[in-house]
Chains A and B, each alone.
Chain A
């Protein structure tokens, strides 16, 4: 892993079109600003891992049979 030390307001460039800026540091929290092309997807890693796990689970469950779905109400987002 490449390790760089930066101060508040300093930036890091990844390639020619991604810029990461350290905005503020307080206690254990670091606020980071990221400028990247629109088609680059940026996620918090823990969310990404959760989503990945759910997709794997959905793939494993895809052979399950559920009967009588019409007897149930569809739950709408409130």
Chain B
């Protein structure tokens, strides 16, 4: 299978690389299937929609910045990244993490109900 992505151009993949989000992502409930891309030379992982390849989300592994973050068994926690040309303005959404199980190819987005984790968390400082 092939999709045309903004970040990586044309990407060819096999069905076993597709992560299924039964409930989609908040605001994108109709998009259920994403390609999970781990570029070698990038800070971020990517979720690229298969149904609408123009929609893509950079992700950041939450474990790198917070070891207390709420876990889901067999899933890895990622935060959706809001990119910005100024790295100091790049933020993570820690309030609504995306959990991915790469073995079972499942994804789920949850809301963490605590004030500790904001919707806009600055990833970088000087």
Contacts and interface: CB of A to CB of B under 8 A. Distances in A.
A52 to B, nearest CB: 4
Interface stretch (A1-9, A13-21, A24-32, A69-77): A69-77
A65 B87 contact: no
Given A63-B6, A65-B85, A47 B124 contact: no
A51 B95 contact: yes
A58 B124 CA distance: 16
A72 to B, nearest CB: 4
A48 B113 CA distance: 11
The interface size bin for chain B is 35 or more
Nearest to B49: A59
Interface of A: 41, 43-44, 47-48, 50-59, 61-69, 71-77
Interface of B: 6-7, 25-28, 43, 55-58, 64-66, 68-69, 80-88, 90, 93-96, 110-111, 113, 116-117, 119-126
Given A55-B28, A57-B82, A65-B85, 14 more contacts: A48-B26, A54-B95, A58-B80, A59-B56, A59-B57, A63-B6, A64-B83, A66-B83, A66-B85, A66-B87, A72-B126, A73-B125, A74-B124, A77-B116
